[in-house]
Structure 1
């Protein structure tokens, strides 16, 4: 995980704004603790904080290349899972590489294919490329929107960053919310409407969108869309197809020059990923590190719920025996969880999922002592129907997103004058 931020201005000389750029950069240090760099030019300034995974020494950013009379500078947060294929294709067409990192492959892809490079990318990414001669900034975000990219249009300029807090360092980005921002926080949270940034002037590049900021105008467009289609495969073909896709995804995400591990909660998703990752590591003669979290006195106080009918440790231990990996336990206590709520909200920028966020923050701090990269089963429940409401007949009959079943309750927290301006149910729908 890395952090990117920057600004374009049509009237100021941004070479004089290094202190402001450094302030914006400092807000992203959690995302990139290993290296940092800045780029300053008259009309564009960009900064990067790096978590080094591939080609640690030569993959520093911002990265710059010159080709065809134009100079291009990139800041990039993400991973390309088809780096090898893209590199081979570009080399066959004459590109000469100086590093082994995916940053250079992405930058050379942009030089070669222009905006259409994103159509070639298999990965998760948010990046910006400044074209020095053309004086235009290209922005892009991955298909599903795994990597964040926020922006704000300011008088005679433009500001962007991986997190909202980076934008709020800029004096021309007001720290204000309106009724839409209130609705996002109280009615939609911890989710958000695609493209929204909660604060009044802040927006987010939508998933699968890209485009240019040039001559004071921002033009973004979708480069990919998800389409629903009838499923025509039989069960055997479906199972084989899913196995192929998941196995390929895990193998591609195991490419790393730094230590790698997996989350292991004992559920189907993390158990499957850990098993596949273990196969990859065994083929390479390496040992997989797996990581689990538990809570002090959980065996005494656990109470089953509709959301979590059973406790995790029994299943974790079964997988630990099956895999034979090097397993690590993190045990968290309530006072530490409560204290970490503040840091968790600060890291997320917005109110989130309370103790789920603080647990994840503390857990990841412990994991970082052993590995730099960890695969997890996050979002597998959405893909594979893991949450209870997918099997709850009452919830399935209700129109709307299954998470959003508490709108009436949440509306009670709105001030009457605000509630009068927001049709809460219609907003959520």
Structure 2
């Protein structure tokens, strides 16, 4: 895994701009703490930061290829899981390899197939290739957007980077945010509209898209989308295919020359990934490391609810014992959780999921002490229909994103002026209508199944990106690479068309996945209800965010104050938000979480010196 930044310019001599490109690269140094590199020519400049996972010597970047007097340069972030097959196919075309690295294979794939190279890649990736002779830049991002990529066009300059912070380092990209960006923060946040990067002059290359930039201009094209078609296999055959496919996805993602582990909550998804990973490593005489998260005194304060019905730790310990992993539970202190809200914000560049982000960041820091790569269970709930909104009548009949419920209550904390500017309900309705228009329909599908297809598409392409962004940013902020086998595009494509009565086999959410895993996981795990990433219920965390919000409400320099209903926010802070629970973003958002979100917005406005325009 890595981070990179680049600058193409038709008017500047970039050989004289080393200092700026170095600073852009330094801004993403956390993504690649092991080594860095710079490449300069008059019209192109690249910076790369590397986290070494494969081929320490051969994978150095920026990586250059000279052929017939021409020069190509690549900066790349990712892992290619079909690397052996890709190398074999390229050899059959006459290419030879000087390294074991996947970066060389990706560059040669571009030389072989041009923009169509992305369809040959199975993996997680974002990369840029520069053709020095043709003065053409090619950018590409993996199908589901597991690896990030942002860009900005400013005058004669075209800038790109793994994270927004690297673009904001450039003097041509001011940290300006207009009403569109504010709507993303206050109406959709912590989610974002795909392609929208909140900052005024920054765009996100959408998942499954490529971009070219040359003197002729910019071209952006989508290269991957889901296709709806009838599913012809019966239940038993489908379960067998799923089991085989998931095992292959996990085994492919074990490629590593550094220590590797898994994140294990004891739920269905993480247990499945851990089982296949532990089995594969055991065949080589190795033991998988597994990691779980807990909070100080959580047994004392944990309170089950409809979104988090069970306490994870006993389940994770049981599964780890069964699978004979080298298991560790990382226990987080609630005050430390609050103090990590700013580092988590800086890792994400935008206000996020508050303590859920900071918890993952703290977990990643501890995991990094033992391994450099982890596998995780993200994606299963979105592609198999594991969330409550796939079955709840009010969500199925709703005309809004199902994870954003009671949005008017949350928006009541905004100032009247901001509400008038943003028109929150209209903005939400517009974004929802745009999202529905993207859904690939199946002709002749009956109404209920068609509605579930809509919910599934929204979950995969508008909810899952929030979790994938969270996982990538928090892990990479700790120099840790996170892989997500359930997001292998082959698995996503296959599950997409499984009929809903089969997905809900046995009358349970993710029923077909439970059936596929029968016999390899204990029945207790197979029947366990969905439980999201755990959060703390400790009063010390509530006191932390309560005190912090009350302090900022008394600070006349706070940039948040003109944007919020101060009295309403003060009223919530005085109680610590105790007793306030509302469904928001896939789980029950407590009062302390809402306070923490507004606290992160204030920190974001200050730290990034946001200019409201």
TM-score by length of 1: 0.97
Q: Answer yes or no: is the 8 Å Cα contact 1:291–1:327 preserved in 2.
A: yes
Q: Deviations over 1:316-336 (max 9, x none)?
A: 121022111111121111011
Partner Cα distance (2:235, 2:397) in 1: 26
Higher helix share: 2
Q: Report deviation, 1:216.
A: 6.3
- 1:131 maps to 131
SS in 2 for 1:58: coil
Counterpart-to-counterpart distance in 2, 1:14 and 1:410? 47
Equivalent position of 1:337 in the other structure: 337
Q: Secondary structure at the match of 1:247?
A: helix
1:189-268 alignment runs, 5 A limit:
189-215=189-215, 217-268=217-268
Structure 1 residue runs of 5 or longer lacking an equivalent are: none
Instruction: Output one character per residue of 1:173-216: Cα deviation in whole Å (capped at 9) or x when no partner.
Output: 12111111001111111111111110111101111111211116
Provide the rounded CA distance (Å) in 2 between the counterparts of 1:23 and 1:412: 40
1:391 is matched with 391
2:2 and 2:49 in contact (8 A); partners too: yes
Distance 1:184 1:365 in 2: 29
Query: Retained in 2: the 8 A contact 1:307–1:387?
Result: no
Measure the CA separation in 2 of the matches of 1:39 and 1:251. 35
The aligned residue for residue 507 of structure 2 is none
Q: CA deviation at 1:411?
A: 2.3
Contact 1:291 1:329 in 2 (8 A): yes
User: 1-side partners of 2:391 and 2:54: how far apart?
Assistant: 41
In structure 2, the residue corresponding to 1:112 is in which secondary structure? Answer: helix
1:149-192 Cα deviation digits (max 9, x unpaired): 00010011111001010000011112111111001111111111
| Native 8 Å contact 1:67 1:111 kept in 2 | no
Q: Aligned pair count?
A: 429
Cα separation, 1, equivalents of 2:406 and 2:121: 38
- Provide Cα deviations, 1:315-371, integer angstroms capped at 9, x if missing partner: 112102211111112111101101111100000100111111111001000100111
Q: Hey, what does 1:172 align to over in structure 2?
A: 172
Name the Cα RMSD after superposition: 1.3
**Which residue of structure 1 aligns with residue 23 of structure 2?**
23
Map 1:2-401 to 2 at 5 A.
Answer: 2-215=2-215, 217-401=217-401
Distance in 1 separating the partners of 2:115 and 2:142: 13
Check conservation: 2:317, 2:327, Cα contact below 8 A. Answer: no
More strand per residue: 1
What do residues 99-140 of structure 1 show as CA deviations (whole Å, max 9, x unaligned)? 001000001111111111111111111100010111111111
Counterpart CA distance in 2 for 1:155 and 1:216 is 14
Take 1:167 and 1:212, find their aligned partners in 2: how far apart are those partners? Answer: 18
Give the drift of 1:142. 0.8
- Alpha-carbon distance change, 346 to 216 in structure 1, aligned in 2, over 3 angstroms: farther
Match of 2:475 in 1: none
Equivalent residues of 1:157, 1:216 under 8 A apart: no
Map Cα deviations across residues 366-398 of structure 1 (whole Å, 9 max, x no partner): 100111000001222212223233332322321
Tell me whether 342-351 or 385-394 shows the greater mean CA deviation.
385-394
What's the CA shift for 1:27?
1.0
238-247 vs 72-81, which moves further: 238-247
Whether the 8 Å contact between 1:80 and 1:123 is mirrored in structure 2 is yes
Match of 2:410 in 1: 410
Secondary structure of the corresponding residue to residue 31 of structure 2: coil
| Cα deviation digits, residues 61-117 of structure 1 (max 9, x gap) | 000001243210000011111111010111122111110010000011111111111
* Structure 1 range deviating more: 410-419 or 285-294: 410-419
Any idea what SS the aligned residue of 2:65 has?
A: strand
